[in-house]
Amino acid sequence: MIRKILRGFGAVSLALVPLTASAPAQAARAPQGPQSAGVTTLADAVGLVKVAKENRTGYASSHFKHWNAGLLPSDGCDTRNEVLLDEAVKAPAVAAGCELTGGTWQSYYDGQEVSGPDTLGVAHTVPLAEAWDSGASAWSPARREAYANDQGASASLAAVTARVNRQRAAQDPAEWIPPVPEAHCRYVGEWVTTKLRWQLTADNPEMEALKVFAEGPCEDTVVQYTPAP
């Protein structure tokens, strides 16, 4: 399946500048605290992800409380709006109740420049349903809420066009990859970063897809992750 995806999007140049999991523009949400961090190649990082079968029995998005009051409850902005403010290329105006107007964003999944927040979504890099399949079904409600609102790592959430986020839905990299080739390595790197941060597993087709990227076009990509508290 993943080889069909790669053929469909065309060849990806090995000369791509590797995009790490912690882009400078997202430094405001970099992890803080004494937790030990890991920095390694994508191939080695993929090797750290455990393989297990997936089971979506019992999943509902309501099991992951989102969006909550965010990092700074006193600002009146929920997690979604805090991410939008953090990732804006041109900052929007902020009115009472954290109502956002104007502003500009770059949706890296599809390479689109977006004016105004109305057509944006905030994507969980590893979708909630995929997280449930990969270990979150056994978590406490509090830990699932922490996952769904994770601003402790820049890789966890991304402001992208709502349309491309709907197209992706809950698919993993064996089934869907961003339509812009330049985004492939960043996306796969951030997927693996999130899996390691939250100790989530991968099923066999997903693992095969990750290895294709890690051993091919994304071999120079560096993964940086910090375990979730």
What pLDDT, in 10s, does the model give residues 72-114? 999 999 999 999 999 999 999 999 999 999 999 999 999 999 9
Q: 171-185: per-residue pLDDT in tens?
A: 999 999 999 999 999
Measured in whole angstroms, how far is the alpha carbon of residue 37 from the centre of its chain?
A: 18
* Residues 6+ away with beta carbon under 8 Å from 200: 49, 126, 131, 134, 135, 136, 194
Q: What is the pTM of this model?
A: 0.86
| Residue pointed to by tokens 């902005």 | 77
pLDDT-based confidence at 223, cuts 50/70/90? Answer: very high
- pLDDT at position 17 is 32
Mean pLDDT of the chain: 88
Q: 139-194: per-residue pLDDT in tens?
A: 999 999 999 999 999 999 999 999 999 999 999 999 999 999 999 999 999 999 99
Please give the Cα distance from 181 to 177 (Å, whole number): 9
